[in-house]
Structure 1
Amino acid sequence: MSALMPFIRLMKPHLGWVLLGSFLGLVTLLSSVGLLTLSGWFISATALAGVSVVSAQAFNYMTPGGGVRAFAIARTAGRYFERVTTHEATFRLLAQLRSWFYAHLEPLNPARLRHYRSADLLNRLISDINSLDNLYLRVISPSLVALVTAVLVSLFLWWISPSLGVLLLLALSVSGVLIPMLGHKLGAVTGRDMVGQASALRQRTLTYVQGMAELHVYSALDKQQLELQQSQQILLQAQLRMSLVSGVTAALMTLAAGLTTLLALMIGINLVTEEQLSPAWLALVVFCVLASFEAVASLPLAYQYLGKTRAAAENLQEITSQRSDIEFPDQPIVVVRAGEIQFDQVSFAYDSAPVLQGLSMQVNPGDKVALVGHTGSGKSSIINLLSRFWQYQQGRVLVGGVVVESYPEQQLRDQMAVLSQPVQLFAGSVRANLQVADAEASDQQMLALLGQLGMTEMLGSEGLDREVGEGGNRLSGGQRKRLGIARALLKTAPILILDEPTEGLDIHTAAQVMETVFSYRPGQTLLIITHHMQELHRYDQVIRLDQGRRLD
């Protein structure tokens, strides 16, 4: 349970909703028991009262009939409001969990996350957190309700006969503790495996879909499909094993309920024979015992999947327990020369693979600089070091005349606007994506910039309200690129860094985009990573890299 305790503690802000849901669940369950119990007595008593005209006329039909209606109404209303309340509590908890997880994930630098694929992190954020609803919705609250119900109903039967009360308490204890424990033991390993198998299947599926074009080119589709089918089959086999466990525990619960009802019937018949119990109350006892098992009926399945829930919790804690390799100071600093970039004999390696080797360069405020070189020459690593996503091993990196290690995180982010590769867009409108860079930007300012980039036609009649889709999937590749450039240009920062800004654009559009980039903020330092050798005369510096070394 230690893996689950941090998530149980997260219930505190929503404890009111949890307790209200549990209370309504208790009311619903007691109403259900009361309805079946009173109905059993009412039917039996009515039948016995009809033996003679005198007893039939003397029998009070109204009071028990009203009680049956009251229990039925309370059961229906309680079930509705219990479902609403418990699901509201669960959804609030899951929403808080996602915010909590992202709050721990966001500060981690890429060096910490390099061993995790994006599909794996997304799976933890969605699927693993969703798995925790079993903890809140099916384990904690139902267990509390079952405990209180067992005690109250056993006390009621104790009032009728101590032997009946003891029998029911023992039966519910066995059924509510031993059978769920058995289900948990049988399903713990399989449930844990299901978490990893479901994650692997999602990752393989995502890889298959995203890489379908390349797989088709290299005639590897059949192989990937076979691996995908094998992963699916492994998961299906695990689900089958869990279904078999569910069948075993359900059968044991039914057997326990039947045996307990039979024993209660035998005790009740003996009490009736000894005239310690009226015949009509015999039906009450039997139906009360039978109905009380509803309190524990759902527990075996919940505890069976507790291993899966624990595995999901451990997956989340694996991320949230980590700390960033990069530490930012809290004290703001004074920027000496805004817009200046300096690398002084910088060496950097990803693990043991050298990327930059003794790199030195000086970019003065307002300079327009092109970084050129083949793939793997270290160009993108320069962005990572400027942003402090990674830490270099030797030398110094200065921004604005100050070493980057002296900057608080937000102040360092304010020094530069970056267009990464690939462009990251968010599901929402064009306006919302642009306001990420400048929340105060006016519609006129955004429209004017998009017009300079040749995107007015793309907006259509919707204008800035046009939805870009998940990851910008409603836009073409060139439109996504230009929208990303517009967002970078909108940010008021001394340094603008663009990674392959014209990649995928035709010659005319690329020229239009670069003209806008050069003219939009004339005094802004511009650092452009590019493979293209055209128009290099426009730059103040052209820095050529090869295997992490500067060639000139």
Structure 2
Amino acid sequence: MIWNRRLLVAALAGSAADLAGLGLIASAAWLITRAAQQPELAALSVAIVAVRAFATSRGVFRYAERLSGHDVALRAQAATRERLYDSLIPAGPLSHRGADLLSRMVDDTDAVQDLLVRCLLPAIAALVTGVTAVVIAAFLLPLAAVVLAAGLAVAGVLLPAATAALARRSTSRLAPARADLAAHTADLVHGSADLAAYGATGRALDAAAAADDRLARLERGQARVNATALAAGVLVQGLTVVIVVAVAMALGAGSIATAVLALMSLVSFEPVLPLAAAGERLTGVLAAVRRLREIEATPPAVPAPADPLPRPTGPLTVVVDDLVVRHGDRPALGGVSLTLMPGKRVAVVGPSGAGKSTLLSALMRTVDAVSGSITVNGADLRRISPDDARAMMTGLTQDPYVFQTTFRDNLRLAGPEAADADLERAVREARLDTFADRAGWDVQLGEDGRTLSGGQIQRLALARALLYDPPVLLLDEPAEALDETTADALMTDLLDATRGRTTLLVTHRLRGLEAVDEVVVLEDGLVVQRGTHAELVAADGYYRELWEAENMIRR
């Protein structure tokens, strides 16, 4: 409702601005022509006041139209981007590349702004101004009004329709071409080191240049269509004015009426001529909307319950009972059972592909089980909304993302309303306080964490998890891709920080697992061993073999 009011204000203000321009030219034409006849000054006073009033009000109305119109457009753009985020969070697997998604997130959501600012509002103002100009012309000279109406119809209806038809084919290829160029550019920027190492920089540059050429050709074609439409509009404007003047002179309309008709006809095209470009832009907007709907129509990875249960409160007991999860035809979990009591820490270990990360995904409701169950305080997790499930069980996932903003803002992602004392506590528990003190809380972090070491990125992600403080903390390979010394230090600090917290730790490293309450060993989606670290080291099996191999490597 608020948007509708703001949009109405913008439409009225834009129409009023163009009408003020029309009134300014009409009254100025009358004033100049009448003054040439040297009448009494009193006969010109009303026109003089009208010229001043129209000139002043035109600027005021234009400012109001810009203010209200852009306010509505930016709000609509933000709402569209928010809906896109909301649809991406629960979405299942996407076939789109990251750069393509970014293009849709930026370029396609910008199109919503263009729909209002460049298409809808100009069309309303052009319609109001054109109708008013034709009505005034009809009072002065009916035949001139017919000529003016025909010219405005050609410039405001036929030309935009022709422009849209010509641009439709190129516009449908323009957005994918931009996404393709963005993907090649991202590959060059983020993969420059790998490309250089494998001698593939030249091929990557050639591919990016080819993508740039394709986009440039499409944009040049689009520019030619716009330029042709604008030139045709100006031609229609000139011909209409010439014919209106010729009709007025032929019918003996008089000098004042002829001058008013000529200048008013000329100015009435001012809000109409941009509609040709608006027709082309509308085609692009519709294509962008279709691309956004493709993302929004992506089915969720897991269905939300029709009548969700309220989120369980208090200390949570999580029971995984005979859980079976499949990825396609391949079983990822073949009947896993475990129990997480309040304050209990459980580590899940096993070789790559054993199903460790799948177990975390099932707990966070990003994959659905074929059979078995997960209950939280006795409530079936499938009866709880996915958002509530992730609020209860979340934490540190693989490849945490670092945004190109300050250290403080990167940390606040987990707690936008958190006090500075809470931020300091989380940073201290993650052993990142030395970095914060040395570099400062407002230091800018590079894109993807390029200014941080691997250990610092993992500690930042751990600090986020500790700041969010979910009832059940999930940690997925926190020491992955770190050197031995950094990984040992991080695991030691992590186990210290999670003492007393309900925690499920997925790891392939056994060092430090003496501190957890239970270790569960997965192989091929099955639980093959479970017990304390000491019990598993003493028993035959995968855990003991891995422990001996790890110690041998360290020696």
Query: Residue 290 in 1 paired to residue 266 in 2?
Result: yes
Give the CA deviation at 1:267.
0.9
Query: Residue 167 in 1 paired to residue 144 in 2?
Result: no
Query: Residue 71 in 1 paired to residue 50 in 2?
Result: no
The correspondence of residues 166-185 of structure 1 with structure 2, limited to 5 A, is 166-185=146-165
Q: Secondary structure at the match of 1:348?
A: strand
Give the CA deviation at 1:288.
1.4
Structure 1: distance between partners of 2:233 and 2:416? 59
Aligned residue for 1:210?
190
Task: Call closer, same or farther: CA 1:551–1:154 in 2, change over 3 Å.
Answer: same
Aligned residue for 2:21?
32
Structure 1: distance between partners of 2:388 and 2:247? 79
Structure 1: distance between partners of 2:378 and 2:8? 57
Indicate conservation of the 8 Å contact 2:402/2:449, yes or no. yes
Choose the corresponding residue for 1:231, options 191, 198, 211.
211
Indicate conservation of the 8 Å contact 2:76/2:112, yes or no. no
Aligned residue for 1:117?
97
Deviations 1:340-387 (A, max 9, x none): 44351x433323344334445556655543333343332211111111
Give the CA deviation at 1:231.
1.5
Q: Secondary structure at the match of 2:226?
A: helix
The one-letter code of the counterpart of 2:4 is L
Give the CA deviation at 1:516.
3.2
Give the CA deviation at 1:280.
3.4
Structure 1: distance between partners of 2:383 and 2:27? 75
Aligned residue for 1:356?
333
Structure 1: distance between partners of 2:230 and 2:453? 54
Query: Residue 376 in 1 paired to residue 376 in 2?
Result: no
Give the CA deviation at 1:454.
3.0
Task: Call closer, same or farther: CA 1:69–1:336 in 2, change over 3 Å.
Answer: closer
Task: Call closer, same or farther: CA 1:547–1:226 in 2, change over 3 Å.
Answer: farther
Indicate conservation of the 8 Å contact 2:22/2:267, yes or no. yes
Give the CA deviation at 1:98.
2.1
Structure 2: distance between partners of 1:146 and 1:386? 57
The one-letter code of the counterpart of 1:338 is L
Q: Secondary structure at the match of 1:294?
A: coil
Aligned residue for 1:260?
240
Aligned residue for 2:466?
489
Aligned residue for 1:318?
294
The one-letter code of the counterpart of 1:89 is V
Choose the corresponding residue for 1:332, options 273, 293, 310.
310
Give the CA deviation at 1:512.
3.9
The one-letter code of the counterpart of 1:389 is T
Structure 2: distance between partners of 1:139 and 1:149? 16
Where does structure 1 lack aligned partners over 5 or more consecutive residues? Answer: 1-11, 50-54
Q: Greater CA deviation, 140-149 or 405-414?
A: 405-414
The one-letter code of the counterpart of 1:192 is S
Choose the corresponding residue for 2:282, options 303, 306, 311.
306
Indicate conservation of the 8 Å contact 2:362/2:369, yes or no. yes
What is the root-mean-square deviation of aligned Cα atoms in Å? 3.1
Give the CA deviation at 1:101.
3.0
Deviations 1:446-503 (A, max 9, x none): 4345334432221127865555566555543322211211232344445332122223
Indicate conservation of the 8 Å contact 2:491/2:512, yes or no. no
Choose the corresponding residue for 2:400, options 413, 416, 423.
423
Q: Does 1 or 2 have the higher relative contact order (CA < 8 Å, sep 6+)?
A: 1
Indicate conservation of the 8 Å contact 2:140/2:257, yes or no. no
Q: Greater CA deviation, 58-67 or 94-103?
A: 58-67
Give the CA deviation at 1:145.
1.6
Structure 2: distance between partners of 1:444 and 1:118? 36
Indicate conservation of the 8 Å contact 1:429/1:465, yes or no. yes
Aligned residue for 1:143?
123
Task: Call closer, same or farther: CA 1:362–1:63 in 2, change over 3 Å.
Answer: closer
Structure 2: distance between partners of 1:137 and 1:416? 43
Task: Call closer, same or farther: CA 1:508–1:256 in 2, change over 3 Å.
Answer: same
Structure 2: distance between partners of 1:498 and 1:352? 27
Structure 2: distance between partners of 1:18 and 1:133? 12
Indicate conservation of the 8 Å contact 1:452/1:512, yes or no. no
Aligned residue for 1:391?
368
Indicate conservation of the 8 Å contact 2:347/2:516, yes or no. yes
Structure 1: distance between partners of 2:440 and 2:212? 44
Give the CA deviation at 1:249.
1.2
Q: Greater CA deviation, 392-401 or 133-142?
A: 392-401
Where does structure 2 lack aligned partners over 5 or more consecutive residues? Answer: 530-555
Task: Call closer, same or farther: CA 1:282–1:231 in 2, change over 3 Å.
Answer: same
Indicate conservation of the 8 Å contact 2:80/2:109, yes or no. yes
The one-letter code of the counterpart of 2:64 is F
Q: Greater CA deviation, 170-179 or 314-323?
A: 314-323
Structure 2: distance between partners of 1:114 and 1:96? 22
Deviations 1:1-25 (A, max 9, x none): xxxxxxxxxxx53122212222221
Indicate conservation of the 8 Å contact 2:11/2:121, yes or no. yes
Task: Call closer, same or farther: CA 1:184–1:436 in 2, change over 3 Å.
Answer: closer
Q: Percent same amino acid among aligned pairs?
A: 29
Q: Secondary structure at the match of 2:71?
A: helix
Q: Secondary structure at the match of 1:498?
A: strand
Give the CA deviation at 1:129.
1.1
Give the CA deviation at 1:93.
1.9
Indicate conservation of the 8 Å contact 1:195/1:312, yes or no. yes
Structure 2: distance between partners of 1:168 and 1:93? 36
Structure 1: distance between partners of 2:126 and 2:416? 52
Aligned residue for 1:19?
8
Structure 1: distance between partners of 2:86 and 2:412? 21
Instruction: Give the count of matched residue pairs.
Output: 527
Give the CA deviation at 1:438.
5.8
Choose the corresponding residue for 1:152, options 132, 140, 143.
132
Aligned residue for 1:93?
76
TM-score by length of 2: 0.85
Task: Call closer, same or farther: CA 1:250–1:60 in 2, change over 3 Å.
Answer: same
Indicate conservation of the 8 Å contact 1:336/1:401, yes or no. no
Task: Call closer, same or farther: CA 1:37–1:436 in 2, change over 3 Å.
Answer: closer
Q: Secondary structure at the match of 1:295?
A: coil
Structure 1: distance between partners of 2:105 and 2:181? 16
The correspondence of residues 453-468 of structure 1 with structure 2, limited to 5 A, is 453-460=430-437, 468=445
